């Protein structure tokens, strides 16, 4: 019967017939035989006939599909029966090298003619290879029909098709079926296939990629009408896959993917694809892969997914462990389309009724809606972001409506906007972002106006303050997890000004954020400040600075601080007995001792003073204290004035930081407020 492929013999074709000791030998050799998609080299067939029986052998040096070598040094031997066609009932196959290693298997081959048709059957079984059975039926006109089925270990299939790196471990079983038809021997015209994998496993040497217990089903069909085209379908029903940092498990109802495919001389194409992932969402996709170089193009179209599984399984794994983003939970729905060509090229989204919250209560945003589109082509587009309410570290913010202009490099505000905050507002003059480059990240500037100190201190569980705070915010920049500023942040509080300069926060949203800055204080009125604490009454004006302030995970680790009063015309400098006691404890003493001395001082509501101040140098958990002057071996915290005169001198210059904090806490809760008439 004719060979069921178009083949050609090149380099040499040898035919020899000889007789040896009553036996007839027919030998055929070919340097190369090729068909559509496959090649066999160095073939040698031998037929030996004798009175003891006929023997047939076929040897091939190399057999390959496309550019992949499947077998090397293969040999098939069998006893040939010719009563009804040609049949090898007990064939033995030996292969020195294959994706499954060396092979030794048994099988049978049968060729016969039935009416006007020819039939061929091949069956093989090997411990390493599995089993395969192939049947071909053809007509004299060249029309043919092929049916094949079998099973095989997946490890060899992965190596044969180079699906995974050679160093990875793979296992599992696959069952397969193929049907094909052709109108002539030159080419196939129709094909259908099915592949079922069970207990599929793989693992990379570093353990960052792995799969276990995976069950897949792949089906497809194709037809040739000048070019190949068809459909393909996949179902994932069991198992889990780790592809660090992501881990997915098969949904209870199967994950389904289907697509149309097309092969041309220039490219492989997938089009009109759809994916249904129960519990996540559904959408479409397309792909264009050039066969000879070029850039892969892909699209994900109209994906409609739930935010909860999208954030938990796809976005959160990208966040640094322990950071704020890793603590968030999401809800709502988003519909998006995304395209890529040598990188991300376009994005369109519509986020509906979403919310974000952290398990520790650091962030909560509700009623989030956003829509927009972005393109890498150089065109600008609009986007909008809205929310109903928000909280950051338990500080509530009002509704938000922001309109943005998107460009290939990032986005910026269409116009300034204001966010209600603690009885005042936060006004954004500038807000922008860049996606890449040395200046990638976010930047903003604005003003804080009329924020209620009473509300802020209540939320933060601080002693109650009164009044409002306003601040000017210079350009703050966020890049690669760090926050820096191009100027000084200034705030008006307690009748004075606090300036924060050289601000830098490293790892802002990660584990152990590190803050460095310098703080300057000028003109703070002590009376409203001490009214907020049970420290005792002090009047006057305070100035000073905190240099090289370092906070690790928002706790002080180092600084050099110096605070002192400055005389201001019209502002008295007085201190109450309770405040004297508090300052004495803060300096390391036990308060004013002595029965007659304490009883005498209690007769006065306040005492005048000339200078008041204290310095603290924190390093390695130890605070070194200083004052406004020195006296003997001590440091002066309070220098009195007039009669009766009260001076406070400290002698214990070095103290553990935690102990100093305990002293301050004791002083703040032990001093009674004094009515002064002011």
pLDDT for 147-182, tens place per residue?
A: 999 998 898 888 877 888 989 999 999 999 999 998
Q: Are 21 and 137 in contact (CB under 8 A)?
A: no
What pLDDT score does 12 carry? 38
539 or 590, higher pLDDT:
539
Q: Are 112 and 170 in contact (CB under 8 A)?
A: no
Query: Rounded distance, CA 346 to CA 638, Å?
Result: 67
Q: What is the mean pLDDT of residues 122-139?
A: 83
Both tokens assigned to 269: 């194409």
Q: What H or E segment, with its residue span, contains residue 597?
A: helix 595-601
Please report, for residues 84, 317, 452, 498, 530, the alpha-carbon distance to residue 456 in angstroms, rounded to integers and kept in the order given.
Answer: 98, 34, 6, 17, 17
pLDDT greater than 60 at residue 190 = yes
In this prediction, residue 648 has a pLDDT band, given cuts at 50, 70 and 90, of confident
Q: Is 531 in a helix, a strand, or coil?
A: helix
In this prediction, residue 6 has a pLDDT band, given cuts at 50, 70 and 90, of very low
Q: What is the mean pLDDT of residues 13-32?
A: 67
What are the beta bridge partners of residue 33?
A: 9, 40
What pLDDT score does 8 carry? 36
Least confident of 151-155, 550-554, 603-607, 616-620: 603-607
Q: What is the mean pLDDT of residues 495-514?
A: 86
401 or 97, higher pLDDT:
401
Both tokens assigned to 156: 């060899």
In this prediction, residue 537 has a pLDDT band, given cuts at 50, 70 and 90, of confident
What pLDDT score does 667 carry? 66
pLDDT greater than 60 at residue 599 = no
What are the beta bridge partners of residue 282?
A: 276, 304
Query: Rounded distance, CA 356 to CA 354, Å?
Result: 7
pLDDT greater than 70 at residue 23 = no
The domain ranges of the chain are 1-112+121-127, 418-511, 532-541+556-678
pLDDT greater than 60 at residue 287 = yes
Q: Tell me how crowded residue 293 is: count the other CB atoms within 10 A of its CB.
A: 5
pLDDT in tens, 328-361: 999 999 999 999 998 889 999 999 999 999 887 7
pLDDT in tens, 200-251: 999 999 999 999 999 999 999 999 988 899 999 999 999 999 999 999 999 9
Q: Name the pTM for this structure.
A: 0.73
**Cα dihedral: 64, 69, 73, 78 (round 10):** -50
Backbone angles phi, psi at 327, to 5 degrees: -100, -5
In this prediction, residue 186 has a pLDDT band, given cuts at 50, 70 and 90, of low
Q: Is 325 in a helix, a strand, or coil?
A: helix
Query: Rounded distance, CA 427 to CA 498, Å?
Result: 19
Q: For the chain, what's the residue count?
A: 678
What pLDDT score does 527 carry? 86
Which of 269, 255, 254 minimizes the C-alpha distance to 222? 269
């Amino acid at each position: 019967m004719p060979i069921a492929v178009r083949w050609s013999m090149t380099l040499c074709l040898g035919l020899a017939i000889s007789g040896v000791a009553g036996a007839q030998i027919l030998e055929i050799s070919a340097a190369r035989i090729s068909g559509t998609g496959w090649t066999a080299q160095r073939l040698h067939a031998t037929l030996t006939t004798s009175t003891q029986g006929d023997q047939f052998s076929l040897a091939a040096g190399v057999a390959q599909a496309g550019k992949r070598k499947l077998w090397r040094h293969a040999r098939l031997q069998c006893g040939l029966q010719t009563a009804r066609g040609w049949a090898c009932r007990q064939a033995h196959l030996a292969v020195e090298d294959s994706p499954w290693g060396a092979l030794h298997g048994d099988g049978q081959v049968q060729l016969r003619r039935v009416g006007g048709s020819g039939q061929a059957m091949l069956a093989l079984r090997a411990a390493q290879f599995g089993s395969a059975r192939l049947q071909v039926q053809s007509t004299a006109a060249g029309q043919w029909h092929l049916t094949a089925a079998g099973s095989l270990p997946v490890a060899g299939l992965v190596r044969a098709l180079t699906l995974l790196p050679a160093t990875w471990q793979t296992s599992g079983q696959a069952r397969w079926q193929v049907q094909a038809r052709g109108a002539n021997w030159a080419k196939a015209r129709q094909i259908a296939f099915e592949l079922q994998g069970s207990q599929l496993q793989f693992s990379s040497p570093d353990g960052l990629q792995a799969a276990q217990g995976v069950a897949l089903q792949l089906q497809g069909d194709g037809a040739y009408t000048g070019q190949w085209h068809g459909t393909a379908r996949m179902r994932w029903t069991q198992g889990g896959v780790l592809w660090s940092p992501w881990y997915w498990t098969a949904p209870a109802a199967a994950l389904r993917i289907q697509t149309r495919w097309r092969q041309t001389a220039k490219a492989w194409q997938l089009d009109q694809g759809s994916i249904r992932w129960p519990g996540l969402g559904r959408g479409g996709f397309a792909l264009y892969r050039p066969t000879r170089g070029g850039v892969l193009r892909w699209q994900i179209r109209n994906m409609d997914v739930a935010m909860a599984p999208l954030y938990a399984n796809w976005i959160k794994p990208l966040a640094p462990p322990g950071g704020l983003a890793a603590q968030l939970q999401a809800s709502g729905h988003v519909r998006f389309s995304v395209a890529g060509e040598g990188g991300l090229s376009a994005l369109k989204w519509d986020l509906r009724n979403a919310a974000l919250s952290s398990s520790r209560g650091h962030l909560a945003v509700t009623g989030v809606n956003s829509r927009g589109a972005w393109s890498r082509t150089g065109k600008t587009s609009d986007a909008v972001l809205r929310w109903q309410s928000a909280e950051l570290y338990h500080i509530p913010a009002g509704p938000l409506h922001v309109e943005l202009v998107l460009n290939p490099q990032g986005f910026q505000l269409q116009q300034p906007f204001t966010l209600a905050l603690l009885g005042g507002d936060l006004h954004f003059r500038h807000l922008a972002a860049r996606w890449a480059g040395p200046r990638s990240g976010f930047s903003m500037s604005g003003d804080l106006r009329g924020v209620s100190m009473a509300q802020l201190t209540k939320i933060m569980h601080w002693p109650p303050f009164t009044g409002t705070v306003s601040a000017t915010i210079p350009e703050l920049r966020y890049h690669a997890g760090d926050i820096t500023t191009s100027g000084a942040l200034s705030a008006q509080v307690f009748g004075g000004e606090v300036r924060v300069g050289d601000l830098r926060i490293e790892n802002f949203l990660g584990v152990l954020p590190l803050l460095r800055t310098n703080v300057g204080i000028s003109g703070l009125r002590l009376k409203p400040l001490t009214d907020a604490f049970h420290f005792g009454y002090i009047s006057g004006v305070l100035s000073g600075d905190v240099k090289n302030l370092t906070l690790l995970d928002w706790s002080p680790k180092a600084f050099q601080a110096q605070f002192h009063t400055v005389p201001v015309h019209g502002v008295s400098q007085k201190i109450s007995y309770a405040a004297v006691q508090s300052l004495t404890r803060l300096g390391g003493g036990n308060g004013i001792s002595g029965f007659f001395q304490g009883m005498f001082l209690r007769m006065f509501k306040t005492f005048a003073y000339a200078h008041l101040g204290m310095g603290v140098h924190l390093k390695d958990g130890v605070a070194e204290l200083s004052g406004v002057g020195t006296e003997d071996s001590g440091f002066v915290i309070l220098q009195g004035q007039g009669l009766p005169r009260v001076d406070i001198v400290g002698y214990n210059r070095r103290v553990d930081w935690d102990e100093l904090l305990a002293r301050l806490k004791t002083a703040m809760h032990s001093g009674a407020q004094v009515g002064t008439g002011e």
